[in-house]
C-alpha cells in the first residue's frame, strides 16, 4: 500500500458517500460522485481502486438510463405502475451496489463487478 493508493481509496470513499447521499436526497451528489470517479479513473490504472471507479461509473450510468426509461413509461397511464416499480428497483440496486462496493473498498478488495 502506498500514498497514491491511499489517496485514490479516499476518493473512492467520497464517491460512495456521494452515492449514498444521492439515494437519500436525489440531488446532484450522484453527478458529482460520477464526475470524481471518471476524473480519477486514469490515476487508478493498475490498482484495485480502478475497479471501484469503473463500477461507480457503471452504477451512475445504468441508474441514469433506467431512470430515463422509467420517466418515459410514466407518460402513459398504464406505465405509471411500471415506472414506479422500475424506479424502486433502481434505488434498491444502487443501494446494494454502493454498500457492497464500500465494504469491498474498506477491505482493500476489487469491486464486485
pTM of the prediction? 0.90
* DSSP single-letter state for residue 110: -
Q: Please tell me the predicted confidence (pLDDT) of residue 73.
A: 86
Q: Is residue 112 part of a domain?
A: no
Query: With 70 as the cut, is the pLDDT of residue 1 above it?
Result: no
Whole-number average pLDDT of the chain: 92
Residue 93 has pLDDT above 70, yes or no: yes
Asked whether residue 22 is domain-assigned, the answer is: yes
> Residue 27: what pLDDT?
80
Query: Is there a domain that residue 25 lies in?
Result: yes
Backbone conformation region of residue 27, classed left if phi is above 0, alpha if psi is from -120 to 50, else beta = beta
| pLDDT, tens digit (0-9, with 9 covering 90-100), for 68-79 | 998 888 888 778
Residue 70 lies in a domain: yes
93 against 113, higher pLDDT: 93
Q: What is the pLDDT averaged over residues 43-57?
A: 96
- Domain limits at 38? 3-106
Per residue in 52-67, pLDDT (tens digit) is 999 999 999 999 999 8
Amino acid at each position: 500500500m502506498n500514498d497514491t493508493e491511499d489517496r485514490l481509496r479516499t476518493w473512492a470513499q467520497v464517491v460512495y458517500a456521494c452515492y449514498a447521499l444521492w439515494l437519500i436526497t436525489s440531488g446532484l451528489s450522484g453527478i458529482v460522485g460520477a464526475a470524481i470517479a471518471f476524473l480519477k479513473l486514469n490515476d487508478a490504472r493498475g490498482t484495485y481502486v480502478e475497479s471501484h471507479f469503473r463500477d461507480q461509473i457503471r452504477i451512475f450510468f445504468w441508474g441514469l438510463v433506467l431512470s430515463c426509461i422509467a420517466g418515459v413509461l410514466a407518460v402513459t397511464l398504464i406505465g405509471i405502475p411500471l415506472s414506479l416499480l422500475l424506479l424502486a428497483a433502481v434505488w434498491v440496486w444502487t443501494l446494494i451496489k454502493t454498500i457492497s462496493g464500500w465494504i469491498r473498498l474498506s477491505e482493500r478488495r476489487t469491486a464486485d463487478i
